[in-house]
Structure 1
């Protein structure tokens, strides 16, 4: 009896031989030029009578791996987590999922992307182009609701020519974040803080007359309510969006990584203003989402950032929501 052992290498070699036999000699498989472009990234669905559109500002890069991007997680451990979940470990990139809600009366934009700043890499700053591709005119935005005043969330308020990207919009955010991130005295805390405060002032101060401060539980517009979730920044807000008995929670930066923030939710993020407070807000938000089985959208989770949270022991699991293909 003859034993035949089929290996992956021999199978691939066999397929190559078969292709050579079937295709005429000299047949070209790819005559068309490569396009090297990507389709505009937006995803639209219904929430009760509201229309929700998630629009990408492009990926945000955290650069090369280092110790304690998440507190207590070494570079080696983080590398293993990424490898075990089939994620690249040479650098960390996170999506930027900007939410637009059309209530039928108001057009509300949540966060603005980073306006093309290269602070976190060269691939972001795509919001305005993707809004237009999604059929949304920035001039028609009625309200810009900021979860917080970090660069990747508010540095898209002003265009590079100094003109507002959303000239007809009222801007809503917490007073705590406005006061903290426009305080010139913070510049003495180091070069990074100097850059953050300086950049944020360029976007918030020229818009001061259009800014309305919102507090925990306050409605921004009917059907959209602020939820205080401090820690990542001093005045970080999430937003509950409710229509027709259905609720979606925009969690902003309550969590940053769809694996680490779930498996180790008590690990503070290195960019948190108050790591312990950020952990408390994350646990409280995750518990609410899991208990009430509410869908949420996370700013930095894999595109388009929509999913569910379930308890898993003393941690959690993330379940991406099935994307709907028909409205």
Structure 2
């Protein structure tokens, strides 16, 4: 088979520019749509049907504001090497819904609109969960259990609407007792400026379900086949969930790692939104090592859409191997 040199390829490209004069009448271009397709992705996990639904992108600007004590040059070097922007971190919000055949379990809720202008603190691209759920054929009233990894704004503020009404009227809510206590206590409105909004939002959303709370306890099931794993540091009661079916386990890691490059290649870096950055880094290394060793598949909340893949060891850190993105049924 003949080979194609770079010189020949460039020459062919130049030749392609020489085209006959077109005399046909030109028509107006179609208008720009400026809208994205409904974002949902479905796959099987044993006998379970898994659907990932997007709440929309959540950018952190500038990128450096997401970290504490990190070299700007090193961070930008890692981003550039991985073909990523250096002025912001384009995080996703990958909300997992598991249909076990007996229950429909939603993991986290996205940002929502419950806190008005505060709901747009990360920009206007969030709050798309309910619309994308419906596009995926799932109604909020069908959700039996909302399993929260933690009580930050982008994980629980869509439990209720702007008027305080439950968005998931038939659901129980699972959350660690530590997070429930901390994020509904006004005495914790201290430290970073965002803490006041975070606590006010958690109170509004969590208190609406106080009569139907389920405590997520480390090593115990919140539903058949769904086990809570304590991963403290990002919040005091941050929780992952291992979903086991048919001899396989997939782990919803919540905010164990916010970035698929920076916090995998540099897992000891301190993330600015962690309640205890040092503890979060220790937890991150421990869990990433376990996930890589046990080869459990992962759904990560903030990794590139749809957040499904595997973690592998890579030098002194780790690397992200995304799963094929085609819907697998």
Both structures adopt the same fold (TM-score exceeding 0.5) = yes
- 1:25–1:141 distance in 2 versus 1, CA, 3 Å: same
Cα drift, residue 11 of structure 1: 6.5
Task: Report what 1:25 is aligned to.
Answer: 23
Confirm or deny that 1:61 pairs with 2:64.
no
Cα drift, residue 262 of structure 1: 1.1
Alignment RMSD (CA, Å) = 2.0
- 1:73–1:14 distance in 2 versus 1, CA, 3 Å: farther
Cα drift, residue 78 of structure 1: 1.9
Task: Report what 1:75 is aligned to.
Answer: 72
Task: Report what 1:98 is aligned to.
Answer: 95
Task: Report what 2:230 is aligned to.
Answer: 228
Cα drift, residue 37 of structure 1: 1.7
Counterpart pick for 1:182 among 178, 181, 184: 184
Range that drifts further, 221-230 or 84-93? 84-93
Range that drifts further, 32-41 or 106-115? 32-41
- 1:279–1:7 distance in 2 versus 1, CA, 3 Å: same
Q: C-alpha distance in 1, partners of 2:57/2:302?
A: 9
Matches within 5 A, 1:146-295: 146-189=148-191, 191-295=193-297
Q: 1:80-125 CA distances to partner (integer Å, 9 max, x unpaired)?
A: 2211111112222200000000000000000000104101111010
Where 1:319 maps in the other structure, the secondary structure is strand
Where 1:51 maps in the other structure, the secondary structure is strand
Q: C-alpha distance in 1, partners of 2:35/2:83?
A: 24
Q: C-alpha distance in 1, partners of 2:324/2:28?
A: 33
Where 1:66 maps in the other structure, the secondary structure is helix
Q: C-alpha distance in 1, partners of 2:25/2:181?
A: 66
Q: 1:141-168 CA distances to partner (integer Å, 9 max, x unpaired)?
A: 0000000000000001011122111011
**Residues 65 and 75 of structure 1 are in contact (CA less than 8 Å); yes or no, is this contact kept in structure 2?**
no
Task: Report what 1:110 is aligned to.
Answer: 107
**Residues 42 and 328 of structure 2 are in contact (CA less than 8 Å); yes or no, is this contact kept in structure 1?**
no
Q: 1:194-218 CA distances to partner (integer Å, 9 max, x unpaired)?
A: 1211121111122211112121011
Where 1:252 maps in the other structure, the secondary structure is coil
Cα drift, residue 27 of structure 1: 5.4
Q: 1:283-315 CA distances to partner (integer Å, 9 max, x unpaired)?
A: 111111111111101000000001111111221
Where 2:270 maps in the other structure, the secondary structure is coil
Confirm or deny that 1:132 pairs with 2:134.
yes
Cα drift, residue 187 of structure 1: 1.9
Task: Report what 2:116 is aligned to.
Answer: none
Task: Report what 1:40 is aligned to.
Answer: 38
Matches within 5 A, 1:7-18: 14-18=15-19
Q: C-alpha distance in 1, partners of 2:217/2:57?
A: 30
Gaps of 5+ in 2: 1-5, 114-118
Gaps of 5+ in 1: none
Q: C-alpha distance in 2, partners of 1:258/1:174?
A: 26
Q: C-alpha distance in 2, partners of 1:278/1:29?
A: 58
Cα drift, residue 6 of structure 1: 5.4
Cα drift, residue 73 of structure 1: 2.0
Aligned residues: 319
**Residues 306 and 321 of structure 1 are in contact (CA less than 8 Å); yes or no, is this contact kept in structure 2?**
yes
